[in-house]
Amino acid sequence: MPTVAKATQFLADSDSKAFDLEHRRKIRFNIGKYNAAVEQGMTWYRDHELARARAAYRKSQIINNLDQYLLQWEENFTKRGGKVIWAQNAEEALREIGRIVQRRRARTVVKAKSMTTEEIHLNRYLEKNGVESVETDLGEYIVQLNGERPYHIVTPAMHLSKKDIADIFVKHLKIKPTDDAQELVYTARKLLRGKYTSAEIGITGGNFLVADVGGVAVTENEGNARLSATFPRTHIAVVGIEKLIPSLQDLDLFWPLLSTSGTGQQLTVYNTVYLGPRQPLEKDGPEEMYVVLLDNGRTNLLAQPDKREALQCIRCGACLNVCPVYKNIGGHTYETTYSGPIGSVITPHLDGMADNKHLSYASSLCGACTSVCPVKIPIHNILLLNRQQAVNEHLNDKEEERGIKLWLYGMQHRWTWGLAPLAAKKWVLDRLLGQVGWSKRREAVQLAPKSFRQLWKERPKK
């Protein structure tokens, strides 16, 4: 989609969703439950700010020395028979995964929830090549059945009510109508269990790459990632290069921070560190394990010292839950893998500033996102820096650029406003405010018939 059309579509979809009262009701209800859980979860911390500061420091260490930690992680992972694939972009990642699938003659792949595989559109690629790709996370499974992308980083089906989910199951799985949540879960479980044992390949993401042991740490609530990584003979983990942490001991800090910020839990139910394929004396696990280290634009962000803090993100979703813009326009409006404040920060660097600069304007700059980030990313500041970069690279709309230049000239040369007739001033003001949609929901700004200077000159002399 061309740049202008993409931004225009975003505005149109935002306008539509903001006035969809049923959508807002569902989102506020679901996010409200998460916010209440998170508020309770914070009480388990003796000093949450100290934990945030330590996590920010550790992630900063990683990001500023990423090359060294990546090599350390690779060395330790390959010692135990793991194989590493360095993928510069989505095309390279898909090509290498395709080769593994072809070599294994795989017909079915089971996937645990992974935003990086959404980022490279892996499901679409596998289906195009005749391979069944089954999402095993319940939320992901629901949106996959419905032909949608995930709505939220942590809770993919947040936009759906229990009735919506029941309707999807009735339509696609041909079950009898029911409002029993347990029956819906049992239906999904029964269908998915057979997939685990028949799939040739299991694909997961990775919440953290642990440098000192060469491990891939995965945290989850349903056990689907463990099943996806254990039953199939081949396990592929697709992980962004920024997901590193220095040591296994750091999980003691990061796992609780992630779970508390994301869902309000002290710790998620299943926490696993994968250290490679099955070893000679081990009874279960895959015969081979691959990790695809995905760049896909991350080094573009790494090369910008004033914005690289965004790579510290641990994908907890907390910034989405507090964002007033996200809560009103919803996750699908962004038309990106990563939505909400953090998505607006990183997407222009992952997918191109020209096509995605408009996302950095989808913010009230209230700073709520920054205040809840468990690794203290200054999200609202980086959004401003993205806007600045877009202007410096002349990516903004030409009419907007001309209008701002005209306004700037008028402010620097005050006498021009005195010469301009009232109608001309009104035209300039209407054009400028029209660029930001000021008059769409508000009364038009009225210009005073006389300037302050004129009124000052006409005041009675004492």
* CATH numbers and ranges of domains, the chain: 1-43+311-396 (1.10.1060), 62-296 (3.40.50.10420), 399-458 (no CATH)
- Asked if 205 and 238 touch (Cβ cutoff 8 Å), the reply is yes
Task: State the DSSP H helix or E strand holding residue 435, giving kind and residue range, or none if neither.
Answer: helix 422-435
- With a pLDDT cut of 70, the percent of the chain lying above it is 97
Tell whether the model's pLDDT for residue 1 goes beyond 70: no
Q: What pLDDT, on a 0 to 100 scale, did the predictor assign at position 436?
A: 63
Tell whether the model's pLDDT for residue 3 goes beyond 90: no
Amino acid at 64: N
Write out the two tokens for 302: 């790494």
Task: Give the lowest-confidence range in 209-223, 295-309, 407-421.
Answer: 407-421
Q: What pLDDT, on a 0 to 100 scale, did the predictor assign at position 406?
A: 78
Q: Which residues 6+ apart lie within 8 Å of 104 measured at CB?
A: 200, 201, 233, 234
Burial 134-144 (b: 16+ CB within 10 A, else e): bbbbbbbbbbb
Q: What is the DSSP letter of 264?
A: S
Write out the two tokens for 432: 């400028």
Residue 417's pLDDT band (cuts 50, 70, 90):
confident
Distance (Å, whole) CA 115 – CA 120: 9
The candidate with the shortest Cα–Cα distance to 250, out of 54, 431, 101, 112, is 54
Q: What pLDDT, on a 0 to 100 scale, did the predictor assign at position 426?
A: 76
Distance (Å, whole) CA 216 – CA 113: 14
Q: Which residues 6+ apart lie within 8 Å of 151 measured at CB?
A: 143, 157, 158, 159, 330, 331, 332, 339
Distance (Å, whole) CA 104 – CA 101: 5
Mean pLDDT of the 274-293 span: 94
Sheet containing 244-245, strands listed edge to edge, beginning at the edge strand earlier in sequence: 244-245, 208-210, 215-220, 270-274
| pLDDT tens readout for residues 32-61 | 999 999 999 999 999 999 999 999 999 999
Amino acid at 159: H
- Asked if 146 and 332 touch (Cβ cutoff 8 Å), the reply is no
* Helical spans, DSSP H, in 80-213: 90-103, 115-119, 122-128, 138-145, 162-173, 181-198
| pLDDT tens readout for residues 49-102 | 999 999 999 999 999 999 999 999 999 999 999 999 999 999 999 999 999 999
Mean pLDDT of the 102-116 span: 95
Q: Is the dihedral of CA 184, 185, 190, 192 positive or negative?
A: positive
> Would residue 24 be called left, alpha or beta, if left means φ above 0 and alpha means ψ between -120 and 50 degrees?
alpha
Q: What is the DSSP letter of 267?
A: S
Largest Cα–Cα separation, the chain? 101
Other C-beta atoms lying within 10 Å of the C-beta of residue 58? 19
Mean pLDDT of the 135-157 span: 95
Q: What is the DSSP letter of 111?
A: E
Give the residue carrying structure tokens 């061309």. Answer: 2
SS3 of residue 245 by DSSP: strand
Q: What are the contacts of 177-186 at 24+ separation with CB within 8 A?
A: 185/138
Cα separation of the two ends of the chain? 66
Higher pLDDT, 437 or 364: 364
